Structure 1
């Protein structure tokens, strides 16, 4: 399990990403998929009719499963990571923020893209799409993306609201080749703008993109509503609306509404064959890498 350091102590995002990915790969070595997982980009499951000369017999000897060696043109994939940088992503104000967690997860994915010769790109959004890089697989481009991530990691909260639907429409308009789009967001606008979000997700799928939506949450506070039995002052980070209340008085109603909201979001994603993953900051960031590999395997 990787413990993400406090934002003020992160000095080298690339180093952290490399350590996480290398540890993740070591863990795969110990899994039942030993051999396949480490060289994921160079293998696929054997299908009837495949030329036997391309079977990796060493891998077969280790796990009794047949995998075919893949060529570079088969393995290249364009991967766009869209990162929500709105005000709500700066929650909580102490400890690891959603934005920090997402930046580390994105850096780890970029490092994995590099190892697999996949082309990586970054997009940042809040009230709209603010930046979109090209998708490339070179080492120089990888370092440029890491620099961009570190800038976002250390930026101050600018009080920007979230318009996920507008940003995803703009992203869909600007990506012209079939790609994998990975979104990190806490989706604060999904409840009020459900139809608009559904339309944006449909736009991505209509353009033949595969999508993974990582719904970034603080599970203890946002899902379980776990607070002490005393008065609190809650402040909406995007509207600055203030609510003074004892959490115990509204916990049952809050959890009911949160469950309904998450169900609607899940239904929207299911309608469009989008992978919706709850990304609890209390869980190891390696879960993000595992989900990516599962998705990539399906696509290939």
Structure 2
């Protein structure tokens, strides 16, 4: 199963819908299938018939076996709206080896969308890039999922993260229970990304933040490069990696702890993902959050 979730293998599957299907089928085969449920009614228990009960709920097989009337009670699964939010600013073009952060984000989002659709959830997509928001409304059908895959395939990161003026109306009037999944590298010039998270968290929606970092970022190992360029501003800096690596890692650890604390204070589920890691943990985190939303 783990090979099917390996990013390097996924990137070799050019068709996004096929990659998502392959990922989810491999994932489901490796876990307890009872945790994956489709829409509809799940059996809960039997109880004795009481005057006034709907006769359509009588279980005639139980009557045949026991000669008594029983009502079959079921639990109705509550499906939700899942909004996938993708950071498509230029920093998501950062690469480590053969693929970029945006490619990892694309396959992660496609897999989550496929899994959500399989469970009967409505899926929507927002792509934040270069002072605009690309939106696909929340719907639940296979054709809509195909359109979502197409939009994911078209993402070309550029510019800086979208300013608040471009998304402040995005959540206006939103009252339906929703799970927002934000896939980002959390690179921001000021506080624009956390401003967005503030907006979402105040609406009492469940929020998952998947923070993407590459292995070369985490280890400060760029194979001898000494000049680094900011992908969003174009600014460059000279760095002696070996001399600052220890300080860099200490500051990075402090930064990640600060981000985690900020998210926790906003009741946001935060997970840092290295882009060389399989998608399995992200999918498990999604299922755990999904379970919390069921009533």
Instruction: Give the TM-score, by structure 2 length.
Output: 0.80
Could you tell me which residue of structure 2 aligns to residue 141 of structure 1? 144
What root-mean-square deviation, in Å, do the aligned CA atoms of Structure 1 and Structure 2 show? 2.8
Contact 2:122 2:138 in 1 (8 A): yes
Could you list the structure 1 runs, at least 4 aligned residues long, displaced by more than 6 angstroms after superposition. none
Could you tell me which residue of structure 2 aligns to residue 286 of structure 1? 280
1:204 and 2:200 are equivalent in the alignment: yes
How far apart are the structure 1 equivalents of 2:41 and 2:75? 5
1:70 and 2:75 are equivalent in the alignment: yes
Per-residue CA deviations over 1:182-222 (Å, capped at 9, x if unaligned) read: 00000111xx534x54443232122121100000111x211
Q: Which runs of 5 or more structure 1 residues have no equivalent in the other structure?
A: 29-33, 55-67
Identify if the C-alpha distance between structure 1 residues 41 and 26 changes in structure 2 by more than 3 Å, giving closer, same or farther: farther
Identify if the C-alpha distance between structure 1 residues 87 and 198 changes in structure 2 by more than 3 Å, giving closer, same or farther: closer
How far apart are the structure 1 equivalents of 2:186 and 2:165? 13
Per-residue CA deviations over 1:230-285 (Å, capped at 9, x if unaligned) read: 45211111111111222011112212222222122112111111000111111101
How far apart are the structure 1 equivalents of 2:283 and 2:250? 31
In the comparison of the two structures, how many residue pairs are matched? 267
Could you tell me which residue of structure 1 aligns to residue 105 of structure 2? 102
1:185 and 2:187 are equivalent in the alignment: no
1:83 and 2:86 are equivalent in the alignment: yes
Identify if the C-alpha distance between structure 1 residues 69 and 227 changes in structure 2 by more than 3 Å, giving closer, same or farther: farther
Could you tell me which residue of structure 2 aligns to residue 257 of structure 1? 251
For residue 170 of structure 2, give the secondary structure of its aligned residue in structure 1: helix
Could you tell me which residue of structure 1 aligns to residue 53 of structure 2? none
Moved more, 230-239 or 101-110: 230-239
Instruction: Give the TM-score, by structure 1 length.
Output: 0.79
1:213 and 2:218 are equivalent in the alignment: no
How far apart are the structure 1 equivalents of 2:283 and 2:11? 24
Moved more, 160-169 or 127-136: 160-169
The CA deviation at 1:147 is 1.1
Q: Which runs of 5 or more structure 2 residues have no equivalent in the other structure?
A: 48-56, 58-72
The structure having more radius of gyration, on CA atoms, is 2
How far apart are the structure 1 equivalents of 2:225 and 2:138? 49
How far apart are the structure 2 equivalents of 1:168 and 1:27? 39
Identify if the C-alpha distance between structure 1 residues 165 and 223 changes in structure 2 by more than 3 Å, giving closer, same or farther: farther
For residue 184 of structure 1, give the secondary structure of its aligned residue in structure 2: strand
Identify if the C-alpha distance between structure 1 residues 245 and 40 changes in structure 2 by more than 3 Å, giving closer, same or farther: same
Contact 2:11 2:99 in 1 (8 A): no
How far apart are the structure 2 equivalents of 1:256 and 1:36? 42
Moved more, 122-131 or 173-182: 173-182
Contact 1:169 1:204 in 2 (8 A): no
Identify if the C-alpha distance between structure 1 residues 168 and 180 changes in structure 2 by more than 3 Å, giving closer, same or farther: farther
How far apart are the structure 2 equivalents of 1:262 and 1:167? 27
For residue 99 of structure 2, give the secondary structure of its aligned residue in structure 1: coil
Contact 1:183 1:213 in 2 (8 A): yes
How far apart are the structure 2 equivalents of 1:115 and 1:166? 34
Per-residue CA deviations over 1:102-128 (Å, capped at 9, x if unaligned) read: 100111111111111100011000244
Q: Please show how residues 156-171 of structure 1 align to structure 2 within 5 Å.
A: 157=157, 159-163=158-162, 169-171=168-170
1:222 and 2:217 are equivalent in the alignment: yes
Contact 1:85 1:126 in 2 (8 A): yes
The CA deviation at 1:51 is 4.5
